[in-house]
Chains A and B, each alone.
Chain A
Amino acid sequence: MTDTHANDAAPSAPRKPRLRTWSAFGDIRKRPSEYEIVTHGTNWTLREGRKSPLEGNPSSPGNLWISTYRDRSPLQAEDWHGFRDPDSHTYRSYVMLQDEQETRVNGLLEQYAAAGADAALSPRWRRTLSQAYTPVRYLLHGSQQVEAYLGYIAPSSYITNAAALSAADLLRRVTQISYRTRELQLTDPDQGFATGERRVWEESAAWQPARKAIELALIAYDWGEAFTALNLVLLPTLDDVLLRQFGELARDNGDELTWLLTAYLRKDAERRARWSGALARYALAQRPENAEVLGKWVRKWSPRADAAADGLSTLLETLPEHGREAASVAAEAREARVSFLGDLGLGTAVSAG
């Protein structure tokens, strides 16, 4: 490289060693992965030495919002940029993964449609789907909003990206349920598919605790609370009901397609649980006081999640021909969350709730 600097005549300082990667990584031995190269330090509102997140008046609404709900959150760490998504997803790896998944799902949808599977389901099971399966898109859309918000307000681009991909996963799930809703409507136009779900969601007693939980999660603006409410408490509980247990229930009632589709969607839920669990662990390792911060939110949100699971459990007991006992549905959902949180070292917080 030619260097034509005017003051080169002066005795120059020893040249810095050649960079191998972003200087932002500091003095590291190991070359960072592609995931790290494209994820590290990409949100400039988190730059070191900032006076306020955004340029412009520090008391502008945008600045006040971010300072309040992100920078002054009770959940604090020395350095959030040390957090890594255990799956190391980049945009590229994500679209590759999900395109493969969608191709498989499309194969299933085609096969079962060709076999006329929906017409072969019992009317009672189709009614179960109209009450317990297709109305879930409202809950998922609300979750998608909270997940997107978490991405906006998160204190590290590593968290933002993971949340953004999870928001996309939730849109995927809404999309798939919508597709199934139309198929079921075509087969059974009188069941209220595509037309009746909003009323079920807004009025059915069984859905109200879930609706209440997600409405409250939408206004949990502190980033740490939004994360805890949705990713550590509500979704781990409700996914157990709506994906695992409902999938098994579908199989028990002769609906293989729903069973298989929920199994595919569980991969997204598991991936979200992996990074969320890793983030909770990271927070605890960074600062012991975070145990109490997270614990407080876990105690606040767990009863809401349990109430939501309780409400839904009645549908799983009463609607299908081969139902599951409501109390055990709710207990298993609760247990799924308790064990997830227990593995993270948030067990005591849970038992106190």
Chain B
Amino acid sequence: MTLLKREEWQGIVRDVDWTFGYVDDDAVYPDWQSGTGKIPREAWSKWEESYKVSYPDYVATQREKESSAYAVKAALQRSRTFETLDEGWKSATKMHFGGVSLVEYAGLLGELKMARFGLSPAWRNMAVFGALDEMRHAQITLFFGHEFVAKDPQYDWSQKAFHTNDWASISLRTLFDGMVIGPDVVDLAIQLPMTFETGFTNLQFVALSSDALEAGDINFANMISSIQTDEARHAQQGGPTLELLVEHDPVRAQWTIDKYFWFSARAFAALTGPVMDYYTPVEHRRQSYREFMEEWIIDQFVRTLQDYGLRRPWYWDEFMQGLDTWHHSLHLGFWNYRPTIWWKPAGGVDAESREWLREKYPDWDKFYLDKWTVIAENINAGNIEATLPETLPWLCSMCHLPNINPVYGRDGKWKTRNYPLKHNGTTYYFCTKGCRQIWWEDRDAVNHATVVDRFLAGEIQPMDLPGVLGWMGLTPEVMGDDAHGYAWAKSFADPRATGSGLLVGAR
């Protein structure tokens, strides 16, 4: 005799809703947190996930995954792989450890919130597994990052990054506070499992895992591919929630998805774009960021929208154009502001890399070549100073990333615009029309000072670059610098390379 099949009894595990007799339903499920809005309370009984899981199955599967992930790590610990990894690639991992581990933990908080305030018991149960998954991801990422702390203090930021006022941390906190920790659970389910996890995590996990293998970092590939195997399970909380929302409040569904697809695209342009197109050594790249976005993200996103009867977002053209610029500009920004980040950005623009970039991005030369040429000329002239920042970058009041997106003007010239908006006597600046539009619609909730605003308000003292770096929590041994000691710049000294004529006062 064997055990009963899961299908025979699982219905009972989720048959746990009852009518409250001693408290109001609204008090247990306040709209602030449960967010049902126009979805009638009784409609939630239809919520059903497609891929069922039970507690005993869960712990059995997960125990195996954990054992194998940590066994691979233990085996590799004796190897000298880490010492042989390229600095640019190591920076990809530092960025990931710092930028992702505590985001996974935010995911845990969001899942717990859904486990409490979700309006369907099936959903609440699923969210408990989601919470466990996210705890796993936070812990495995921290544990793997911790291994390298003694070798390189930048890995300390695996745990530290989100506790600081670093501008990259503020930008990511803003994103995930709004996406995961703060919102009601209906918005949360559309934003996190639906838009972010279903839509985007492939980008960081699949793309990066393949780049990691190419770069010889089996340990890292092992970690993130093991994490990725959990995503399908808890990401499915988005689908049934979206179905209900589309049925009863399609405007809210469309708006919530549009907004968080946009924010996610901005964040991944920062997190993944530079890694794929610059930090991973050129010979190890499988696909460009743009190719990966098109194949893995955009097609699927458009299909999902169609499946649910939703439209393409209003910003579609701007978003698609951004695939050729956002992450290149952010890379330039990170590199230029390298003392303000916890990794060492690879320049990634030596002659061979530039060839690759031109092939993948036919417009790359038009906007980026002259910038890198000036930088290289200064480096080659021994004037590193001129390539370091002296002031703060203009940051977008919405996504808190730098306002450095070039657009092709009617006059045939590339220019960087900062999309101003005047509101209550203050002028706000944005990186894109998309960010400006979202800020305007959500202005009461998102109105939030950028690092520049805080600086100008005198919150950061002393009011100079060292003061800013201190305020951001950066210590000298952590501040980033070029991953390869500026070796790439030599390729610009080649007589065939065009001089810019813009050399800044060589010393």
B109: nearest chain-A partner, CB-CB: A152
A273 to chain B, nearest CB (A): 20
Are A38 and B139 touching (Cβ within 8 A)? yes
Q: How far is the CB of B33 from chain A (nearest CB, A)?
A: 7
Chain B residues in 8 Å Cβ range of A102: 55-56, 59-60
Expressed in whole angstroms, the Cα–Cα distance for A301 and B152 within the complex equals 51
B10, B116, B177 — most chain A CB neighbours (10 Å): B116
Contact of A4 with B66 at beta-carbon distance under 8 Å, contacts A57-B444, A152-B113, A179-B4 already known: no
Decide if B66 touches A19 in the complex (CB within 8 Å): no
Interface string of A1-38 (1 = CB under 8 A from B): 11111100000110110111111100000000010011
| Contact residues in A for B174 (Cβ distance below 8 Å) | 55-56
B136 is an interface residue with CB less than 8 A from chain A = yes
In order of increasing CB-CB distance, the 4 nearest A-B pairs are A62-B182, A178-B12, A141-B16, A148-B115
B495 an interface residue at 8 Å Cβ cutoff? no
B63: interface (CB < 8 Å): yes
Q: CB within 8 A of A43: which of B13, B21, B105, B384?
A: B105
A66-91: which have CB < 8 Å to B? Answer: 90-91
Docked complex Cα distance between A141 and B28 (Å): 14
Residues in chain A near residue B476, CB distance under 8 A: 5, 12-13
Q: Are A211 and B22 in contact (CB under 8 A)?
A: yes
Q: When each residue 171-186 of chain B gets 1 if its CB lies under 8 Å from chain A and 0 otherwise, what string results?
A: 0011001100111100
Distance to closest chain B CB from A196 (angstroms): 11
* A282: chain B residues within 8 A (beta carbon): none
- A114 lies within 8 A of chain B by Cβ: yes
Q: How far does the alpha carbon of A145 sit from the alpha carbon of B128 in the complex, in Å? A: 9
User: Could you tell me if B132 and A44 are in contact, using CB atoms closer than 8 angstroms?
Assistant: no
B177, A174: Cβ atoms under 8 Å?
A: no
By beta carbon, the residue of chain B nearest A112 is: B1
Bound CA span A137–B112, Å: 19
| Contact B21 A215, beta carbon cutoff 8 Å | yes
- The answer, yes or no, to whether A109 is at the interface (CB within 8 Å) is yes
Q: Is the CB of A219 within 8 A of B447?
A: no
Interface pair A212/B22, CB less than 8 Å apart: yes
Are A38 and B131 closer than 8 Å at their CB atoms? no
Q: Are A160 and B108 touching (Cβ within 8 A)?
A: yes
Q: A residues within 8 Å of B by Cβ?
A: 1-6, 12-13, 15-16, 18-24, 34, 37-45, 47-49, 53-57, 60-63, 65, 90-92, 94-96, 98-99, 102-103, 105-106, 109-110, 113-114, 137-138, 141, 144-146, 148-149, 151-152, 157, 160-161, 163-165, 167-168, 171-172, 174-175, 178-179, 181-183, 194, 198, 201-202, 208, 211-212, 215-216, 218-219
User: A42 near B16 (CB under 8 angstroms)?
Assistant: no
The answer to whether A152 and B55 have CB atoms under 8 Å apart is no
B143 & A34 in contact (Cβ 8 Å cutoff) = yes
* Mask: chain B, 56-96; 1 = CB below 8 Å from A; 0 = not: 10111011001100100000000000000000000000000
Q: Is B257 an interface residue (CB 8 A)?
A: no
Residues of B432-448 at the interface with A, using a CB-CB cut-off of 8 Å, are 444-448
Stretch at the interface among B246-254, B270-278, B328-336, B478-486: B478-486
- Closest chain A residue, CB of each to CB of B388: A6
Tell me if B142 counts as interface (CB < 8 A to partner A). Answer: yes
Interfacial chain A residues near B417, Cβ < 8 Å:
none
Chain A residues with CB under 8 A of B173: 44, 54-55
Complexed CA–CA distance, A23 and B105 (Å): 19
Minimum C-beta distance from A90 to chain B (A): 6
Contact B108 A219 (CB under 8 A): no
What's the nearest-Cβ distance from chain A to residue B142, in Å?
5
> Contact between B19 and A148 (Cβ–Cβ < 8 Å)?
no
Name the distance in Å between B351's Cβ and chain A's nearest Cβ: 21
Rounded to whole angstroms, the CA-CA distance of A160 and B181 in the bound complex is 14
B269 in the interface (beta carbon within 8 A): no
Within 8 Å CB of B445, what residues of A?
56-57, 60
Can you list 9 A-B pairs with a CB-CB distance of less than 8 A?
A6-B384, A41-B163, A65-B33, A144-B115, A144-B128, A168-B55, A182-B12, A215-B23, A216-B22
Q: Which residues of B contact A (CB under 8 A)?
A: 1-4, 8-10, 12-13, 15-16, 18-23, 27-28, 32-33, 54-56, 58-60, 62-63, 66-67, 70, 101-102, 105-106, 108-109, 112-113, 115-116, 121, 124-125, 127-129, 131-132, 135-136, 138-140, 142-143, 146, 149-150, 152-153, 156, 159-160, 162-163, 165, 170, 173-174, 177-178, 181-184, 384-385, 388, 444-448, 475-477, 479, 481-482, 485-486
Contacting pair B128 A148 (CB below 8 A): yes
Are B116 and A179 in contact, CB atoms less than 8 angstroms apart? no
Nearest CB of B to A61, in Å = 5
| Contact (Cβ within 8 A) B124 A145 | yes
Query: Judging by beta carbons under 8 Å apart, are B3 and A106 in contact?
Result: yes
Q: Are B8 and A57 touching (Cβ within 8 A)?
A: no
A330 to B501, CA, bound (A): 90
**Given known A-B contacts A99-B59, A145-B124, A218-B28, A182 and B9 have beta carbons under 8 A apart:** yes
The minimal Cβ–Cβ distance linking B104 to chain A, given in whole angstroms, is: 9
- B residues within 8 A CB of A178? 9-10, 12-13
Contacting residues, chain B, for A181 (C-beta < 8 A): 9, 12
Pick the residue among A146, A165, A183, A198 that contacts B4 (CB under 8 A). Answer: A183
Which B residues lie within 8 Å of A40 (CB)?
A: 159
Chain A residue, CB-CB nearest to B141: A38
Q: Return chain B residues, CB-CB under 8 Å to A160.
A: 108-109, 112
B-chain residues with CB within 8 Å of residue A37 when the two chains form the complex: 142-143, 146
Q: Tell me the complex Cα distance, A9–B153, Å.
A: 21
B143 touches A61 (CB 8 A): no
State whether A138 touches B16 (Cβ < 8 A): yes
Q: Is the Cβ of B9 less than 8 Å from the Cβ of A45?
A: no
**Chain A residues with CB below 8 A from B138, complex form:** 38, 42
- Beyond A92-B70, A178-B13, is A55–B177 a contact (Cβ under 8 Å)? yes
Measured in the bound complex, the distance between the Cα atoms of B486 and A39 in whole Å is: 38
Determine the residue in chain B with the shortest Cβ distance to A169: B55
